């Protein structure tokens, strides 16, 4: 765990300001496994930290739906970060809300970000979770320890739109030799009056043009265990065209 915490501290510094292209396949699935509806979104995806608290912010800007452009492909990030830091979050939220309207299904989704779980491994948040080793598994050729985690303190990282707390739990696949996060799983929901459940799995990998491991695939699944005959929402996002921006420098200068 000490290696995992140390890895995340350094990793967050390298990851901030990283941009990528996301290809996101979404499906509504009937109980018998047949596909009711499919959609493919292509987006610009950006992660960064806002000073001084260094809280993570990540959002996607959809530019194509099922092969049809929804806006001129211009880098709206440049306009976004030309403004003062006070307006960055507000403007980014507008872009994110605009992009969210293309999602299939009626599930309100704000945690389907490949970097969401990273905050759980910050040393500052160590006491908020209980971690237990439950096994060892190879992931794409890397030997890992499998850790189960469970959130035990409030306020919780995840809340419903009306403010109800949702406990985070899941598994982490960590390289024990260096603390590198190789895969993460997040499960939330199906507690109290919230019957819907979200399961999000992110796999990391090396890229030849980068000196850090990055998210390469995110699988998401939304169901309702109390309604086994209801439709489910599933999706798979893949990431490419990674590039660093100067956003981090711009923010630190303000």
Segment-wise mean pLDDT, segments of 10 residues, the chain, 254 residues: 91 82 95 94 81 66 90 62 61 72 80 87 92 97 97 91 90 97 96 89 91 93 91 95 68 48
Cβ atoms 247, 81 nearer than 8 A: yes
User: Can you give the residue ranges of every domain in the chain?
Assistant: 2-252
b/e per residue 93-123 (b: at least 16 CB within 10 A): eebbeebeebbbbebeeebbbbbbbbbbbee
pLDDT of res. 174: 97
CATH class for the domain made up of 2-252: mainly beta
Nearest CA-CA partner of 232 in 188, 197, 185: 197
Angle at 97 between CA 95 and CA 98, to 5 degrees: 65
pTM above 0.85, yes or no: yes
The pLDDT value given to residue 83: 58
pLDDT at 254: 47
Residues 6+ apart with CB under 8 A from 235: 24, 25, 26, 27, 112, 218, 219, 220, 221
3-state secondary structure 112-169: CCCCHHHHHHCHHHHHHEEEEEEEEEEECCEEEEEEEEEECCCCCCEECCCCCEECCE
Task: Give the Cα separation of 120 and 126 in Å (integer).
Answer: 7
The set of residues, in sequence order, having a beta carbon less than 8 Å from that of 65 and lying 6+ positions away, is 39, 40, 41, 102
């Amino acid at each position: 765990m000490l290696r995992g915490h140390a890895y995340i501290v350094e990793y967050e510094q390298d990851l901030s300001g990283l941009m990528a292209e996301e290809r996101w396949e979404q499906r509504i699935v009937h109980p018998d496994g047949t596909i009711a509806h499919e959609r493919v979104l292509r987006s610009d995806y950006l992660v960064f930290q806002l000073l001084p608290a260094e809280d993570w912010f990540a959002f996607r800007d959809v530019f194509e739906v099922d092969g049809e452009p929804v806006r001129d492909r211009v880098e709206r990030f440049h306009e976004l970060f030309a403004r003062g830091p006070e307006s960055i979050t507000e403007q980014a939220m507008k872009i994110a809300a605009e992009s969210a309207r293309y999602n299939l299904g009626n599930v309100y989704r704000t945690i389907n970000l490949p970097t969401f779980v990273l905050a759980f491994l910050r040393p500052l948040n160590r006491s908020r979770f209980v971690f237990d080793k439950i096994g060892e598994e190879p992931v794409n050729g890397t030997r890992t320890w499998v850790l189960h985690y469970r959130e035990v303190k409030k306020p919780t990282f995840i809340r419903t739109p009306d403010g109800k707390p949702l406990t985070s739990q899941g598994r982490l696949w960590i390289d024990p030799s260096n603390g590198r996060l190789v895969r993460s799983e997040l499960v939330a929901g199906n507690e109290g009056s919230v019957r819907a459940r979200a399961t999000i799995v992110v796999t990391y990998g090396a890229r030849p043009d980068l000196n850090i491991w990055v998210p390469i695939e995110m699988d998401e699944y939304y169901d309702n265990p109390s309604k086994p005959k209801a439709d489910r929402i599933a999706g798979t996002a893949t990431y490419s065209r990674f590039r660093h921006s100067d956003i981090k420098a711009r923010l630190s200068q303000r």
